[in-house]
Structure 1
Amino acid sequence: MGNKNISMAVIRRLPKYHRYLGDLLDKDIQRISSKELSDIIGFTASQIRQDLNNFGGFGQQGYGYNVEALHSEIGKILGLDRTYKAILVGAGNLGQAIANYSGFRKAGFEIKALFDANPRMIGLKIREFEVLDSENIEEFIQKNDIDIAILCIPKNGAQELMNRIVKVGIKGVWNFAPIDLEVPKDVIVENVNLTESLFTLSYLMKESE
């Protein structure tokens, strides 16, 4: 199924569908209509049907959606039916918080190692990981077939590090560094800028006054 023409707006709504459907499964709800799903999620029923129709027909007229089947199919669309090996670079406060988040493993993302360039951090134990020296990051990526790098580092040096890790096979980056990184076309970067998100909140609060 070729989904290259699916808009990013639709793709960014899929994780929300997956989360809400998981909540419904936890409540032993087995089927739901697009109208009922609309009431829960906040998207219109028409929007929900259009989004899901991009990936095939999941609902049945007069029945609605099988919650378990739809949850499973959206998980497959999101690539959650496979395991990703990840490293985390930057073992400061943000990096430690992410490393301690239990949801990654449940979703199939396995953090294999933590790295830092600060000599005071190297050798410290965070969860089950000993923080490794980022000087040795290329060798670790190659030996362990790492798919994803999570960057929790300052913007100074982030591009240089990116250049190093893509050369040895990293294909996906979850970037918390406050910089727009330049990468080859075959490398996917998802930027998470906490300050920009906070500024957006500030704007919306101001506009609501």
Structure 2
Amino acid sequence: MANKNISMAVIRRLPKYYRYLGDLLRKDIQRISSKELSDIIGFTASQIRQDLNNFGGFGQQGYGYNIEDLHTEIGKILGLDKSYSAVLIGAGNLGQAIANYAGFRNAGFEIKALFDANPKVIGLKIREFEILDSDFIEEYIKENNIDIGILCVPKNGAQQLADRLVNAGVKGIWNFAPLDLNVSKDVIVENVNLTESLFTLSYLMKEDLL
């Protein structure tokens, strides 16, 4: 199983393995070699074997990987055999798009409530969610055993909201605010900076054109 000695680079490749293996299962493919998986994913066969060996031996020489078993085990490593409850703070365009995406619920991540500080949107509905007043975030988290806070707010105020989430008891923050949050070590933060990703695309396009 996973441990803290495994590099983040390996961990960040696991969701890609999980996604591609799921695609293969839906095509009713039962087994695959590391070379065949390499051709599909784009990682080298050696890299794939090294990554998976961090978590135990899943393949058999001369047989390859049982796709269903490997998909299940990677799901367990990623914690996808559990369910998580979340609140989303910031019901603007990005927050609404995330709330409307059904794939999170299918993977075991259920958004329970949306919050915003703007009185013009409080009380409106997104899907089945009524947008709640952000003054009541802590009360809701404590009463509903929320695991994750999703921040879709501007930079100003993001740290204060993160502090409120942590103090209320969340153990993970999915942060879309353009700010690196400072939280206690027992809280996990995953930053998603859309601008940085776009700038990376810009760099790669520039290099390709040189």
The residue aligned with 2:105 is: 105
Counterpart position of 1:39? 39
**Which letter does structure 1 place at the counterpart of 2:166?**
V
Structure 2: gaps (5+ residues): none
Q: Where in structure 1 are there 5+ consecutive unaligned residues?
A: none
| CA drift at 1:186 | 0.4
User: Share of identical aligned residues, percent?
Assistant: 82
Match of 2:17 in 1: 17
> Any conservation in 1 of the 2:115–2:133 contact (CA below 8 Å)?
yes
Does the residue aligned with 1:149 lie in a helix, a strand or coil? strand
- Name the counterpart of 1:163: 163
Q: After TM superposition, what 4+ stretches of structure 1 lie above 3 angstroms from structure 2? A: none
Structure 1 position 164, deviation (Å): 1.1
Kindly provide the CA deviation profile for residues 40-82 of structure 1, in whole angstroms up to 9, marking residues without a partner as x.
Answer: 0000000000000000000001100000000000000000000
TM-score by length of 2: 0.98
C-alpha contact (below 8 Å) 2:2/2:77 kept by paired residues: no
Aligned length: 209
Letter paired with 1:64? G
**What is the DSSP-based 3-state SS (H/G/I as helix, E as strand, rest coil) of the residue aligned with 1:5?**
coil
What does the per-residue CA deviation read over 1:154-194, in whole Å, with 9 as the maximum and x for residues that have no partner? 01111111111101101100000011111000010000000
1:136 — aligned with what? 136
What is the CA distance between 1:2 and its match in structure 2?
5.3
Measure the CA separation in 2 of the matches of 1:17 and 1:98. 23
TM-score, normalization by structure 1: 0.99
**Root mean square deviation of aligned Cα:** 0.6
Instruction: Give the aligned partner of residue 68 of structure 2.
Output: 68
Within 5 Å, give how 1:170-181 maps onto structure 2.
170-181=170-181
Match of 2:79 in 1: 79
Task: Tell me by how many angstroms 1:84 deviates.
Answer: 0.3
1 CA distance for matches of 2:148 and 2:174?
7
Match of residue 205 from structure 2: 205
Which letter does structure 2 place at the counterpart of 1:82? K
Aligned counterparts of 1:169 and 1:45: Cα–Cα separation in 2: 42
